[in-house]
């Protein structure tokens, strides 16, 4: 599970991944916050499914914004939350699989 919170507006996003043999087979989320935060959490559950962890490891906030055809300037924090939650979930996966210790990440 990865979790991110925006301290300024208190939006929160939790992202849960099920990974089998390096492939994300299921993804769910919980979000509290503005509609873009909820929308990006939902989008990620669809986008990540059936992709490898390695293929999404370097996904950026900017790339995520482009995938959803942009965000209003005042709502770009939603992309930051989504990517932060994804990175944290990947770190948890790496810890569980000991990958981080093997390749130095």
38 within 8 A of 15, measured Cβ to Cβ = no
Burial of 37-51, coded b for 16+ CB within 10 Å and e otherwise, reads bbbbbebbbebbeee
pLDDT bucket at 98, cuts 50 / 70 / 90: confident
Q: Which domains does the chain have, with CATH numbers?
A: 2-97 (3.90.1010.10)
Dig out the tokens for 23 from the structure: 């492939």
* β-strand partners of 23: 20, 52
Region 45-62 average pLDDT: 96
Residue 103 pLDDT > 60: no
Question: Helices 77-97 & 35-48, crossing angle to 10 degrees?
Answer: 40
Dig out the tokens for 52 from the structure: 């490898």
- Say what the pTM is: 0.88
Measured in whole angstroms, the distance separating CA 54 from the mean position of its chain's CA atoms is 13
Minimum mean pLDDT range among 4-13, 49-58, 76-85: 4-13
Residue 79 pLDDT > 80: yes
């Amino acid at each position: 599970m990865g979790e991110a919170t925006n301290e300024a507006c208190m939006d929160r996003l939790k992202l849960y991944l099920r990974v089998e043999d390096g492939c994300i087979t299921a993804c769910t989320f919980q979000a509290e916050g503005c509609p873009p935060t909820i929308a990006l959490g939902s989008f990620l559950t669809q986008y990540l499914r059936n992709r490898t962890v390695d293929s999404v490891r370097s996904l950026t906030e900017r790339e995520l914004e482009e995938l959803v055809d942009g965000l209003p300037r005042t709502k770009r924090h939603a992309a930051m939350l989504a990517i932060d939650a994804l990175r944290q979930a990947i770190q948890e996966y790496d810890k569980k699989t000991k990958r981080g210790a093997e390749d130095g990440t």
